[in-house]
Amino acid sequence: HVQLVESGGGSVQAGGSLRLSCEGSGRTYDKWCMAWFRQAPGKEREGVARIATGSGNTYYADSVKGRFTISQDNAKNTVYLQMNSLKPEDTAEYFCAAAHTRALCRLDTTQYIYWGQGTQVTVS
């Protein structure tokens, strides 16, 4: 049974930083696609960053490129999202997602079948 648990959200002033964590349980997560999505009130869920845990290859949405970094700690089955230079428009609920697939990892909600419960990030 795959379970993803996010942590690390909170409130921060513009220009500040937060680090989100996503711990996976139920199995090991080598050669998976792991991603962070976010959803602001009244808006669709959008992809933020993804990592292919086998190769370490990463990809970022243009809106966060250069400010956010996705990384992994395979020993802890944990994926992180380091968020720097936060802006008010980064305010959203952030979700961790996982997919076990041989296809290329994408920032597409339809690729991911396992989701965390979400953690709120508020930037003022």
Rounded to the nearest 10 degrees, how much is the dihedral formed by the CA atoms of 29, 68, 56, 104? 80
Q: Residue 1 has what pLDDT?
A: 79
For the segment 37-60, what is each residue's pLDDT rounded down to a tens digit?
999 999 999 999 999 998 999 999
Q: Residue 26 has what pLDDT?
A: 73
Q: Residue 101 has what pLDDT?
A: 85
CA 104 – CA 37 distance, rounded (Å): 17
Q: Are 102 and 112 in contact (CB under 8 A)?
A: no
CA 52 – CA 75 distance, rounded (Å): 15
Q: Is the pLDDT of residue 30 over 90?
A: no
CA 97 – CA 71 distance, rounded (Å): 14
For the segment 59-94, what is each residue's pLDDT rounded down to a tens digit?
999 999 999 999 999 889 999 999 999 999 999 999
Q: Average pLDDT, stretch 94-120? A: 94
For the segment 11-27, what is each residue's pLDDT rounded down to a tens digit?
999 999 999 999 998 77
**What residues have CB less than 8 Å from 5, skipping those under 6 apart?**
22, 23, 25, 116, 117
